[in-house]
Structure 1
């Protein structure tokens, strides 16, 4: 199975990868689209003519972004809907309220290296937000994705997944000291594994899912990590928001990805598989694309989201 390569790379922007693509009449959802990469991803999809729903916790902020996108693109079909990924009831309400086919679902929202926190269901916050909420969203919208006939799910992961595999016996840090970066890494590994298993399970519905590393971009995501002044990434590797959204938008729209799923992309191209931490922003850990791990995670996710008592 050869790696997918494209004409685009590190410096490509979301607008460049969507040039000439027409998604008029199709529908897209972008989570976490009230700022940063999500807002830019939604803008690029609106440029293609797609009807775009911004799924956000802060509806007022989402409305401001939607108004700006409409003004800058001329697309009148930009909508806002409330979605709190850490609240199962909110996810259920969102999926129950969706009508019609869905062509693109961009699982973009996330939290990074936040202090120890748990949901009302006792789930570790980063796993709950970054993976489980999106898992519930995608599975809840499966019928809409299947109805499109050629739908795509785009999962924003991170090189941070190399920090940790899914620790099957203690995903909620019940028996080990909480570490914000290990928790983040575990959740980002889960993102990639979801793409692998969703592609396998939903192949008969012509639904594909791919994961990606957007690059190093300073947004509100870094509010717990020191942001621009942290020095975690060399300055020459920092992308603009427009460049950071490019890989997400490529996976959502490019004909080069027709029928392609279960892969992991960096800088608009499929990256190599690694067996040790790469030390760069490239590379996907072998454990993150392992099909047995992917199947195991799907079952675990269903179990964690099933109410008890």
Structure 2
């Protein structure tokens, strides 16, 4: 890729990078000789990933076990990142999980909301100062290509009054992340930080093939593209000389760089930001 920024000895964190798209992106960044921290749940997968990253050329590579499904776990993961490197050049979110039926976390939150929205929003807000310190911090969300109609009822984010379904939960968590990206890019417009959603389609990943996935999702996983292909825009967003054109935007097509500025309901974006602040404070974390 031409016109890349220099990532040698840069510090990049991958949340959920021990398999699939996140791992594929991490390997590409390792080839640029960056320092890489991978946060996941499986120590064996983490050790294998670290080995692959070092073999690819990473200046350094470490794995950290983390539970991103709880507020306390997210705060612990963020604190550990800051203890590792106080300056960050990139953060990539790819942590996702399959669940058969509605699952409630230890915090009493719906699982996809906790992992695929709240953890990402919390980590971004807890790490924004470290990202700003690099002078060019970049945040990338790996996501489905959802639209505004997938935004769930902000008054019923835990599906206590409305019927839970896998697709409403999964797609809704991505739509909430889009609201977060839109609001964060507005609030942080004076900071040297960019936020981008890199959308992907069906991909042959461990989570897509998980037996707890709906049959249609497993089928799409079997015929989907390779993780390396789905990771292209995430890698581009990290290495491009400037990602300013993708700040507060989504990249809907994984094989082409076509930023689409987010323009969801601004009132909902602000409301969700405030809901997030109150929710984390109720669990002992001030954002």
Q: TM-score range by the shorter chain?
A: 0.7 to 0.9
2:274 matched to 1:299? yes
Instruction: Say if 2:66 is the partner of 1:78.
Output: no
Question: Does the 8 A contact of 1:18 with 1:253 survive in 2?
Answer: no
2:46 is aligned to 62
Residues 101-135 of structure 1 deviation map (CA, whole Å, 9 limit, x = unaligned): 10100011112464210112111100100010111
CA, structure 1 residues 207+272, in 2 after alignment: closer, same or farther (shift >3 Å)?
Answer: closer
Q: 1:28, CA displacement in angstroms? A: 0.4
Q: 1:203 to 1:229 in 2, by over 3 A?
A: closer
Structure 1 residues 67-216: aligned runs within 5 Å: 67-71=51-55, 73-97=56-80, 98=82, 99-112=85-98, 114-160=100-146, 164-216=150-202
CA deviation after TM superposition for structure 1 residue 169, in Å:
1.5
Check 1:18–1:196 CA distance in 2 against 1; reply closer, same or farther (3 A cut): farther
The alignment's TM-score, normalised by the length of structure 2, stands at 0.87
Aligned 8 A contact 2:245 2:259 in 1: no
CA deviation after TM superposition for structure 1 residue 74, in Å: 2.7
5+ residue gaps in structure 2?
none
Count of aligned positions = 277
Paired position in structure 2 for 1:49? 33
- CA 1:234–1:217 in structure 2 vs 1: closer, same or farther (change >3 Å)? closer
Check conservation: 1:164, 1:189, Cα contact below 8 A.
yes
State the alpha-carbon separation in 2 of the partners of residues 165 and 174 from structure 1.
16
Q: 1:308 and 1:23, CA in 2 relative to 1: closer, same or farther beyond 3 A?
A: closer
- Tell me how far 1:22 sits from its aligned partner: 3.0
How far did residue 215 of structure 1 move? 2.3
Contact 1:106 1:154 in 2 (8 A): yes
1:243 corresponds in structure 2 to 229
Q: Normalising by structure 1, what TM-score?
A: 0.81
RMSD: 2.6
Q: 1:60 to 1:150 in 2, by over 3 A?
A: same
Distance 1:160 1:203 in 2: 24
Task: After TM superposition, give the deviation of residue 170 of structure 1 in Å.
Answer: 0.8
Q: Give yes or no for contact 1:101–1:145 (8 Å, CA) kept in 2.
A: yes
8 Å contact 1:218–1:228 — kept in the other structure?
no
- The answer to whether the 8 A contact 1:33-1:109 is kept is yes
Q: Where does structure 1 lack aligned partners over 5 or more consecutive residues?
A: 1-16, 274-283
Contact 1:56 1:81 in 2 (8 A): yes
- The answer to whether the 8 A contact 1:113-1:184 is kept is no
